[in-house]
Every structure is written in structure tokens, then in C-alpha cells.
Amino acid sequence: MADPGADRFSTALLTSLFDQGISSEQAINLLAWSGLCGWLNRLKIALGDTD
């Protein structure tokens, strides 16, 4: 079974992005894109389209 907290984004991860020189705008875009991709993946699985 997958870790239920594995898809969470923590402050520590956000801080490490800033430490690498990522701007706030880029970090928010990354979070939004990651969230959308994860949501679409779960939707495809729920609809049974995993080919």
C-alpha cells in the first residue's frame, strides 16, 4: 500500500526549492502543475484508462 503522505508537499521541500534558486512564481507553477498531473492520473485510474 502506498504511503498516504507521499503526495504531500512540505515546507522543507519548498525551502529546498528556494535554496536552489527557484523563484516563488516558479515554485507555485511547479506545485500547480504537479497537482494537476496527480489529479489527472487519479482520474484516469478511476475511469479505468491506464493503458
Separation of alpha carbons 41 and 51, rounded Å: 12
Q: Is 49 left (phi over 0), alpha (psi -120 to 50) or beta?
A: beta
> Which pLDDT score is estimated for 51?
63
> Which pLDDT score is estimated for 39?
92
Quick one: cell of 22?
A: 527557484
Would you list the domain boundaries of the chain? 23-50
**pLDDT tens digits for the chain (51 residues)?**
445 555 677 788 888 889 999 999 998 898 889 889 989 999 999 998 666
> Which pLDDT score is estimated for 6?
59
Separation of alpha carbons 51 and 34, rounded Å: 21
> Which pLDDT score is estimated for 12?
84
